Structure 1
Amino acid sequence: MPSVSIILLSILVAVVVYRWVTNQRSRRSLPPGPRPWPMIGNLPHLGSVPHHAIAGLARKYGPLMHLRLGQVDVAVAASASVAAQFLKVHDANFASRPPNSGAKHIAYNYQDLVFAPYGPRWRMLRKIVSVHLFSGKALEDFRHVRQEEVAVLIRALANAGSAVVDLGQLLNVCTVNALGRVMLGYRVFGDGSGKSDPRADEFKSMVVEVMVLAGVFNIGDFVPALEWLDLQGVAARMKKLHKRFDAFLTAILDEHKANVGKGQHNDLLSTLISLKENADGEGGKLTDTEIKALLLNMFTAGTDTSSSTVEWAIAELIRHPKILAQVQEELDRVVGRERLVSEPDLTQLSYLQAVVKETFRLHPSTPLSLPRIAAESCEVNGYHIPKGTTLLVNVWAIARDPAEWADPLEFRPERFLAGGEKAQVDIRGNDFEVIPFGAGRRICAGMSLGLRMVTLLTASLVHAFDLGLPNGLLPEKLNMDEAYGLTLQRAARLMVHPRPRLAQHLYQA
């Protein structure tokens, strides 16, 4: 009879072989992807501009790809059909966010709307902003605010005279003040002249830093054993930035509380304060921290994304004079030169709408979607997606996929017009060839406001001004490089010389 030691050894070998075979089968059933490095996985493959690097990897390994970032499985969707599988077919399974240092250290430890786990609290926060800020009624009620702030911007640009202006900075002041008046009941920056404000400059730098830090693939998020070392210094910078934002938001909240009862307040923050004791949802009462977290979401995701997209749109139009001339001809025909553009005009400006769609296609404000996490294992296109897998949708790559778009790198608004290749394609999350706002349950809550603001600002700028480049710079030489972050910033500021083209009285207060 075999000895006990031989039996035990045989059992041990059988267990090891079984586990090896099972693991090999599991690995084979995962989507293809590059071989990971020991310990850190595929993190070195991401490079300095991850949405570019991941797009390059997808061209080699396919539109459904598996990465191993540290100890985390990551599924990448890099085509419209694969994105639809995750964000439509398996949307409910990918409704929550994975743990990440940005949500922990900046977004009040997941108490905001953007990073909150899917569930009753998230539904309550989503309902509040959807009803009180982004509903059709709310958007219409505050239409005059957006138009007034755009008019302020137009006057500021006209008053620049022969000076060259930083268009992105003035756009940011405009979007922050338009949102601030709705959320808080007053302008956050400036005196209403539209000129740059030092506090606005600082705020812009804070928002950009949020987006840069939130876009970093932090090693501590993927190798928990190394989190305490903060090897990239990301967590320390996040904590420092959070203190600055918290001081800004706490001051706003305290001031609003002090003024409650002193008059009528028709703004979101007053509504949020009233909901502290009677939240209209299934999640319970609102806390001060949740209110500040919501304000943080609105002032970051709701401002810089719009101003940056308009900056990209103007840059593309300057680089394409013939397209710009067509936009101005349409505006002059529909609106004329005796008044400024208003929101009701926008539905009649089909070519302008196509320009905005094409801008969102080539320059999506969030090039890599905010990550989601698989609540349970599932199967996509015949591949196994394990429970706990992080999902990244490469929105930037999908919108430049040559399998979906003719000459995908060209700025060609006509593709969205009647008779064009994508005439029926919308950008509101139903057509996965171009999803700048995401799709499914976690689609951007502020999509409707963002679309209105981007379209109104783009129309107003090209209608009211001929925008020249400084120092004789040729349009085709304009720097169009990207600066990577959670949002897609321009690497170089767009400096322009605005020359009024409408009736003079329109530029006066």
Structure 2
Amino acid sequence: MEIPYLYISLLLLLASYLFTSRFRRGTANLPPHVFPSFPIIGHLYLLKPPLYKTLAKISTKYGPIVHLRFGSRRVLLVSSPSAAEECLTKNDITFANRPRMLFGKILGMNYTTLAWSSYGDNWRNLRRIASIEILSIHRLNELQDIRVEEGRLLIHKLLSNSSSPVTVKSVFYEHTLNMMMRMISGKRYFDGDKLEEEGKEFKKILRDTFVLMGASNVGDYLPILSWLGVNELEKKLIALKERRDVFFQGLIEQLRKGKGDQVGNKRKNMIEVLLSLQESDPEYYTDELIRNFVLVILIGGTDNSSGTMEWAMSLLLNHPQVLQKAQNEIDRNVGKYRFVEESDMPNLPYLRCIINETLRLYPPGPILIPHESSEDCVVGGYNIPSGTMLLVNQWAIQHDPKVWTDPDWFNPERFEGLEGTRDGFKLLPFGSGRRSCPGEGLAIRMVGVTLALIIQCFDWERPSEAMVDMTEGPGLTIPKAEPLVAKCKPRLELQNLLSQL
């Protein structure tokens, strides 16, 4: 007779648990929740590559504000301009933190670098250094000669190889790395097939960095896996950090001894600027801070910029009428007797439209770097608990048919009349608010002038009648699955100008 009472008691307990759980969820007023959420793993079972498209499908079904659980972490998934605006303006300070993840612990020096530091005095100091000392308009203008010279070297390289198809991806990548490293340290590593040992190690470090950054670490969401021991990814990250520290410390020592290749011995590169600050405050401007600072700038300014240029040229080759319109604009505003310069960019609005449309279709950061709430807040009328990781799905916003007409169609004209690279919160290629990318000005200069130069100096076409394959590959920054190969021919109208190189 006791057994039925036991069953009844268990049923009552279960009913009470379900009722109170539902009541708590109702009073908590959390955003819509995806069903089912399994014990321990939560919604991790849903995550399939590419992540930005998987999350976009979830938002299509459940709405632009969704509550998820990735293992032990609460996640707020946002995929509309209004929700993104509310997170990055009204709740900007609240969401200014970074979640603590393995990459930030190891490559972010225990969450102290500009990219991984949470909001506070350390982050404010680093942001000030970036905005005032390193990436200000004044500093970028000082380093303009480097970008001009690298632009001429790029044109010379393409002229030398114009008789055969060009692997555009590698050309853009090496060009961008040369620009960035010369601005950072005064060194230039890529020059044709010549690559010294230092350059080879530098190339390996960057390759391994992007490979490992594209890897996922389940331990960030299931801490028990981390407690069980050091995983293979962690071992690789620790080894990579050690190699990066040795390499960039060597650059610092060379410049400290005055052995760096200064541009015309007139301008200080970025490391030299930081070393001069070290003289006045050695306790704060340590070698470790300098190493990590320039690494953040280097990583943020290379793959993203070269990838955007490759996507832009792929789109232009599939839409030759757009390419011709851009070339006509350059001819009309710059002429055929001098090379396009950074100062010409405000007079090339259609080129800016092409860049914006490329960034809309293929954003280098399809999901903005994760934020984390430092306190309870409200988004879209829903209560968001402290410690919630925020994911803004930029790709979903920029491909939403409710926001854009024919969102999958390449149409630069849609941005005519827009100044800059932002269209409210519909287009956020560099993020917004306190954690927006401080290198936006440099990126736009590098991408804009490089594209303008190669469009001005060459006629471009596909290697065959087939359209350029626009399939997206796996990776952190939406790389092309098939690297772009194209044919370029020097323009006869610019023969006199090109002969001066």
Same fold (TM over 0.5): yes
Amino acid at match of 2:444: L
Evaluate the alpha carbon distance shift between residue 209 and residue 479 of structure 1 in structure 2; reply closer, same or farther with a 3 A threshold.
farther
Distance 1:337 1:265 in 2: 30
Amino acid at match of 1:96: N
Evaluate the alpha carbon distance shift between residue 169 and residue 247 of structure 1 in structure 2; reply closer, same or farther with a 3 A threshold.
farther
Offset, 1:94: 0.6
Deviations 1:370-402 (A, max 9, x none): 001000011111212111000011111111111
Offset, 1:493: 1.1
Bigger drift between 37-46 and 115-124 goes to: 37-46
Offset, 1:155: 0.5
Amino acid at match of 2:148: Q
Matched, 1:297 2:296: yes
Q: Could you say which residue in structure 1 is the equivalent of 2:5?
A: none
Matched, 1:503 2:492: no
Q: Could you say which residue in structure 1 is the equivalent of 2:310?
A: 311
Residue 486 of structure 2 aligns to a residue in which SS?
A: strand
Evaluate the alpha carbon distance shift between residue 464 and residue 229 of structure 1 in structure 2; reply closer, same or farther with a 3 A threshold.
farther
Match of 1:274 among 276, 286, 308: 276
Offset, 1:236: 2.8
Over aligned residues, Cα RMSD in angstroms?
2.8
Bigger drift between 99-108 and 32-41 goes to: 32-41
Q: Could you say which residue in structure 2 is the equivalent of 1:172?
A: 173
Residue 499 of structure 1 aligns to a residue in which SS?
A: strand
Evaluate the alpha carbon distance shift between residue 201 and residue 122 of structure 1 in structure 2; reply closer, same or farther with a 3 A threshold.
same
Q: How does 1:335-484 map to 2 (within 5 A)?
A: 335-417=334-416, 423-424=417-418, 426-428=420-422, 431-470=424-463, 472-474=464-466, 476=467, 478-484=468-474
Deviations 1:109-128 (A, max 9, x none): 22321111211111111111
Distance 1:150 1:374 in 2: 43
Distance 2:473 2:230 in 1: 22
Bigger drift between 355-364 and 197-206 goes to: 197-206
Offset, 1:264: 7.1
Residue 119 of structure 2 aligns to a residue in which SS?
A: coil
Amino acid at match of 2:451: T
Deviations 1:335-386 (A, max 9, x none): 2222221111111111111111111111111111000100001111121211
Amino acid at match of 1:497: K
Distance 2:124 2:113 in 1: 11
Deviations 1:3-56 (A, max 9, x none): xxxxxx9xx979968853553335653333342232222122120210011011
Runs of 5+ unmatched residues, structure 1:
1-8, 418-422
Q: How does 1:33-432 map to 2 (within 5 A)?
A: 33-184=34-185, 186-191=186-191, 197=195, 203=202, 206-228=205-227, 233-259=232-258, 266-279=268-281, 285-417=284-416, 423-424=417-418, 426-428=420-422, 431-432=424-425
Offset, 1:154: 0.8
Is the contact between residue 202 and residue 247 of structure 2 (CA under 8 Å) also seen in structure 1?
Answer: no
Distance 2:461 2:204 in 1: 26
Distance 2:20 2:130 in 1: 49
Residue 92 of structure 1 aligns to a residue in which SS?
A: coil
Distance 1:265 1:258 in 2: 16
Matched, 1:32 2:15: no
Is the contact between residue 95 and residue 373 of structure 1 (CA under 8 Å) also seen in structure 2?
Answer: yes
Is the contact between residue 162 and residue 490 of structure 2 (CA under 8 Å) also seen in structure 1?
Answer: no
Evaluate the alpha carbon distance shift between residue 55 and residue 92 of structure 1 in structure 2; reply closer, same or farther with a 3 A threshold.
same
Offset, 1:181: 2.2
Distance 2:91 2:169 in 1: 38
Amino acid at match of 1:296: L
Evaluate the alpha carbon distance shift between residue 207 and residue 59 of structure 1 in structure 2; reply closer, same or farther with a 3 A threshold.
farther
Distance 1:329 1:37 in 2: 58
Is the contact between residue 173 and residue 196 of structure 1 (CA under 8 Å) also seen in structure 2?
Answer: no
Match of 1:493 among 483, 489, 493: 483
Bigger drift between 121-130 and 405-414 goes to: 121-130
Distance 2:51 2:237 in 1: 20
Is the contact between residue 310 and residue 458 of structure 1 (CA under 8 Å) also seen in structure 2?
Answer: yes
Offset, 1:229: 5.1
Distance 2:18 2:488 in 1: 72
Evaluate the alpha carbon distance shift between residue 34 and residue 149 of structure 1 in structure 2; reply closer, same or farther with a 3 A threshold.
farther
Is the contact between residue 103 and residue 110 of structure 1 (CA under 8 Å) also seen in structure 2?
Answer: yes
Evaluate the alpha carbon distance shift between residue 17 and residue 312 of structure 1 in structure 2; reply closer, same or farther with a 3 A threshold.
closer
Offset, 1:488: 2.3
Amino acid at match of 2:291: K
Distance 1:403 1:112 in 2: 38
Evaluate the alpha carbon distance shift between residue 229 and residue 279 of structure 1 in structure 2; reply closer, same or farther with a 3 A threshold.
same
Deviations 1:62-88 (A, max 9, x none): 111111101000101111111001011
Distance 1:240 1:279 in 2: 30
Deviations 1:174-209 (A, max 9, x none): 22222222222x233135xx6674776764564354
Amino acid at match of 2:147: R
Runs of 5+ unmatched residues, structure 2:
1-8
Is the contact between residue 337 and residue 503 of structure 1 (CA under 8 Å) also seen in structure 2?
Answer: no
Evaluate the alpha carbon distance shift between residue 342 and residue 74 of structure 1 in structure 2; reply closer, same or farther with a 3 A threshold.
same
Amino acid at match of 1:503: Q
Residue 280 of structure 2 aligns to a residue in which SS?
A: coil
Is the contact between residue 143 and residue 267 of structure 2 (CA under 8 Å) also seen in structure 1?
Answer: no
Q: How many pairs align?
A: 485
